Amino acid sequence: MMRGQLGVIYMLCFHHWYEPYPGAPRYCCARHYVGWTEDLLHRLDRHASGTGARLVEVIWHAGIGFTLVRICEGTRRRERAIKNDGGATRYCPACTPHPWTGHWSPITGDLIPRTYPNPARRR
């Protein structure tokens, strides 16, 4: 991979909060994942099979599904800037009626959210 190589930055919104243990404080819980890839559909399929990023693997094994809610073109550096901004809920169109843009490209009507329900469902 070349430095500064363009790819797709994407945001997943989990169908439920992920709590690592009962009663965990909110700062230990997760509701979103931001990632970068060269092949978005392949990466989403890996997430949905429980072999993608560790956080998505954990939520998948916990019976929680996810939805692709935001994408933009960018480098890993831009992905890191988005992650460093924190507060993914502010940028999520599924969680916020008027999501912020920040380092993301403006939301267009081109993206059709892609949902991955988990057949194991949440316990």
Range 75-80 average pLDDT: 93
Q: What pLDDT digit, counting tens, does each position of 29-42 carry?
A: 788 999 999 999 99
Assign 113 a pLDDT band (cuts: 50, 70, 90): confident
Residue 62 lies in a domain: yes
Residue 47 lies in a domain: yes
Assign 77 a pLDDT band (cuts: 50, 70, 90): very high
Residue 123 lies in a domain: no
Residue 122 lies in a domain: no
Rounded to the nearest integer, the mean pLDDT of the chain is 85
**Predicted pLDDT at 2:** 58
Residue 2 lies in a domain: no
Residue 121 lies in a domain: no
**Predicted pLDDT at 1:** 53
Q: What pLDDT digit, counting tens, does each position of 42-74 carry?
A: 999 999 988 889 889 988 888 888 999 999 999
Residue 34 lies in a domain: yes
**Predicted pLDDT at 21:** 74
Residue 82 lies in a domain: yes
Label residue 83 exposed, middle or buried (CB < 10 Å: 0-12, 13-18, 19+). Answer: middle
Domain that holds residue 55: 7-116
Number of compact structural domains in the chain: 1
